[in-house]
Amino acid sequence: MSVNSYNLFQTAQSQFDKAADLLELNSATREFLRNPMREFHFTIPIHMDNGEMKVFRAFRIQHNDARGPVEGGVRFHPMETVDTVRASAMWMTWKTAVVGVPLGGGNGGVICDPHNLSDFEQEQICRGWVRQLVKNIGPNSDISAPDIMTNSQHMLWMLDEYETILGARYPGAFTGKPIEMGGSQGRIQATGYGIMIAVREALKELNIKINGTTASFQGFGKVSYYAIELYQKMGGKVICVSTWDNNENRSFSFRKKDGINLEDLREITNIYGGINKDKAEDIGYEVLSGDAWLEQEVDILVPAAIENQITDNNTDKINKCVKIIAEGANGPTSSKADAILNKSSIFIIPDFLANAGGVICSYFEQVQNNMNYYWDKDEVLAKLDVKMATAYADVSDFSRENKLGMRDSAYVIAVDKVAQACHSRGWV
Ligand code: NAD
């Protein structure tokens, strides 16, 4: 399913509207929160390696900064749309609020396909991104982080451009940096580990021992890889992962019923998280359709690729054994699918709670940058565990006490905090 085949922002707004109704927000607060505070739409012209000039379109959306500077990913994707970025920025506002870090919500994207760009061309895009935004971003206003098809190198190029223009060091302006350049230990693991901390807590509530459970994943990128790593360490077995094949322009699922081997698969995966189909077959994986990951007889499904993947067209394919869906990606479940799943016995850990580990650790990275003193990996991961488990418990307790689903509960908690911050500041 392509990234822009439906409007993600409308989904995000309708989820917000439901929370606003539950909270009985006044009309000005609704109007204020259901739209971004600021939007930047711009172009980045670069010299391609073949001497041509090419112009890339880009967006940075600052949804809300009432609780602190906005923080959010920068995505490189050929199908990027402003509405996808708006939705992701809005979800980041709720994410930072639900886990209680003093940040707001933002997101950005460049319409480009890194598969077809050299490193030098990507560096030019990163530097061009900063040149266009320099007056409107920074450690106290808008902080960027890696997202789809961006990584620590992109963050470092952006930081270098930012610091070169301003003539001083501002390491907290970009997070997800390489560790030796002001990055945090544990940042690369944080989103994936955070998902599995939430799954661990959910399994406890459902009285299921994690040891012996099985899972199937969509995506084998930065998020999935580390989620699988922690899940396997905790005793779970992953039998299927699905990834995008850029040569064939479609996705495939890779299944091994006795459990995938993380390192073997990593060796045949490109830097964008695409598994080589022929090599996978050679090392004993069944190669199945892109949707097959969803149909597996497993306890846990983790959509951790892109948005709008579980829809009213495929919810009936979800196996009856599935007990938990932990949303690793932003917006993987459409509103219609969500309504169907809410009537089933499947327990959903909603995206902006499940995948909050990344922003929690971005916040830790900033704290370390400000102190210029760095924690070791165990310390970072222990702090991550406490924050994720606490946020999970808050949402789960609220859900039980108010007889609301996990998504609605997370929304009510988050929107209430942000609305209160806006009221306290006297904005609405
Ligand atoms: P990534 O680019 O590292 O990996 C994406 C993975 O998804 C790759 O394996 C790719 O092959 C796969 N994929 C893409 N389209 C697919 C399709 N149609 N079918 C099957 N597989 C497909 O990205 P990531 O950083 O792992 O992010 C994954 C998701 O998690 C995104 O929705 C992102 O916004 C969200 N997220 C990421 C972070 C983070 O810290 N990186 C934090 C929060 C949320």
Q: Residue 402: pLDDT band by 50, 70, 90 thresholds?
A: very high
Whether the pLDDT of residue 2 is over 50: the answer is no
Whether the pLDDT of residue 177 is over 50: the answer is yes
CB of residue 196 inside a 6 A radius of ligand 1: no
Q: Which residues, in sequence order, are CB contacts of 121 under 8 Å at separation 6+?
A: 46, 48, 49
Q: For residues 91 and 355, what is the distance between their CA atoms, to the nearest angstrom?
A: 11
CB of residue 183 inside a 6 A radius of ligand 1: no
In the chain, what is the greatest distance between 2 CA atoms, to the nearest angstrom?
Answer: 63
In the reported structure, the alpha carbon of residue 36 is separated from the centroid of ligand 1 by a whole-number distance in angstroms of 24
In the reported structure, the alpha carbon of residue 272 is separated from the centroid of ligand 1 by a whole-number distance in angstroms of 9
Q: For residues 9 and 34, what is the distance between their CA atoms, to the nearest angstrom?
A: 10
In the reported structure, the alpha carbon of residue 147 is separated from the centroid of ligand 1 by a whole-number distance in angstroms of 8
Question: Would you say the CATH fold of 188-354 matches that of 37-183?
Answer: yes
Q: Which residue has the tokens 């963050």?
A: 155
Identify the bridge partners of residue 142 per DSSP, sorted by sequence position.
Answer: 70, 138
Q: What is the mean pLDDT of residues 177-183?
A: 98
CB of residue 70 inside a 6 A radius of ligand 1: no
Q: What is the mean pLDDT of residues 259-286?
A: 97
CB 334 within 8 A of CB 311: yes
- Each residue of 114-160: pLDDT tens digit? 999 999 999 999 999 999 999 999 999 999 999 999 999 999 999 99
CB 89 within 8 A of CB 61: yes
Q: What is the mean pLDDT of residues 194-214?
A: 98
Give, in words, the CATH class of 37-183. Answer: alpha beta
Atom of ligand 1 nearest to the CA of 244: 11
Chain-wide mean pLDDT for the chain?
Answer: 97
- Each residue of 294-347: pLDDT tens digit? 999 999 999 999 999 999 999 999 999 999 999 999 999 999 999 999 999 999
- Best mutation site among 148, 272, 276, 355 for ligand 1 pocket (most ligand atoms within 8 Å of CB): 148
CB of residue 302 inside a 6 A radius of ligand 1: no
CB 25 within 8 A of CB 411: no
Q: For residues 196 and 208, what is the distance between their CA atoms, to the nearest angstrom?
A: 14
Of all protein residues, whose CA lies closest to atom 29 belonging to ligand 1?
Answer: 329
Atom of ligand 1 nearest to the CA of 150: 2
In the reported structure, the alpha carbon of residue 58 is separated from the centroid of ligand 1 by a whole-number distance in angstroms of 19
Q: What percent of the chain has pLDDT over 70?
A: 99
Q: Residue 222: pLDDT band by 50, 70, 90 thresholds?
A: very high
In the reported structure, the alpha carbon of residue 74 is separated from the centroid of ligand 1 by a whole-number distance in angstroms of 12
Q: Are strands 104-111 and 142-146 parallel, antiparallel or unpaired?
A: unpaired
Q: For residues 333 and 354, what is the distance between their CA atoms, to the nearest angstrom?
A: 13
In order, the DSSP letters of 102-124 are: S-EEEEEEEE--GGGS-HHHHHH
> Phi and psi at residue 48, in whole multiples of 5°?
-75, 165
CB of residue 306 inside a 6 A radius of ligand 1: yes
Q: What is the mean pLDDT of residues 248-275?
A: 97
Of all protein residues, whose CA lies closest to atom 38 belonging to ligand 1?
Answer: 147
Q: Residue 385: pLDDT band by 50, 70, 90 thresholds?
A: very high
Of all protein residues, whose CA lies closest to atom 17 belonging to ligand 1?
Answer: 244
- Each residue of 278-294: pLDDT tens digit? 999 999 999 999 999 99
In the reported structure, the alpha carbon of residue 251 is separated from the centroid of ligand 1 by a whole-number distance in angstroms of 13
Q: What is the mean pLDDT of residues 90-98?
A: 98
Q: What is the mean pLDDT of residues 196-200?
A: 98
Q: Residue 103: pLDDT band by 50, 70, 90 thresholds?
A: very high
CB of residue 144 inside a 6 A radius of ligand 1: no
Q: For residues 170 and 163, what is the distance between their CA atoms, to the nearest angstrom?
A: 6
Q: Is 392 exposed, middle or buried (0-12, 13-18, 19+ CB in 10 A)?
A: buried
- CATH 3.40.50.720, applies to 188-354: yes
In the reported structure, the alpha carbon of residue 396 is separated from the centroid of ligand 1 by a whole-number distance in angstroms of 26
Q: Residue 6: pLDDT band by 50, 70, 90 thresholds?
A: confident
CB of residue 8 inside a 6 A radius of ligand 1: no
In the reported structure, the alpha carbon of residue 421 is separated from the centroid of ligand 1 by a whole-number distance in angstroms of 31
In order, the DSSP letters of 342-411 are: HTSS-EEE-HHHHTTHHHHHHHHHHHHHHHT----HHHHHHHHHHHHHHHHHHHHHHHHHHT--HHHHHH
pTM: 0.96
Of all protein residues, whose CA lies closest to atom 4 belonging to ligand 1?
Answer: 221
Whether the pLDDT of residue 4 is over 60: the answer is no
> Domain-by-domain residue ranges, the chain?
37-183, 188-354
CB of residue 352 inside a 6 A radius of ligand 1: no
Of all protein residues, whose CA lies closest to atom 33 belonging to ligand 1?
Answer: 329
Write down the pLDDT at residue 5.
59
> Running DSSP on this structure, what letter comes out for residue 51?
S
In the reported structure, the alpha carbon of residue 197 is separated from the centroid of ligand 1 by a whole-number distance in angstroms of 19
CB of residue 76 inside a 6 A radius of ligand 1: no
Write down the pLDDT at residue 234.
98
The Cα-based distances of 313 to 149, 308, 338 in angstroms read: 27, 11, 12
Of all protein residues, whose CA lies closest to atom 12 belonging to ligand 1?
Answer: 219
- Best mutation site among 79, 223, 240 for ligand 1 pocket (most ligand atoms within 8 Å of CB): 223
Write down the pLDDT at residue 1.
39
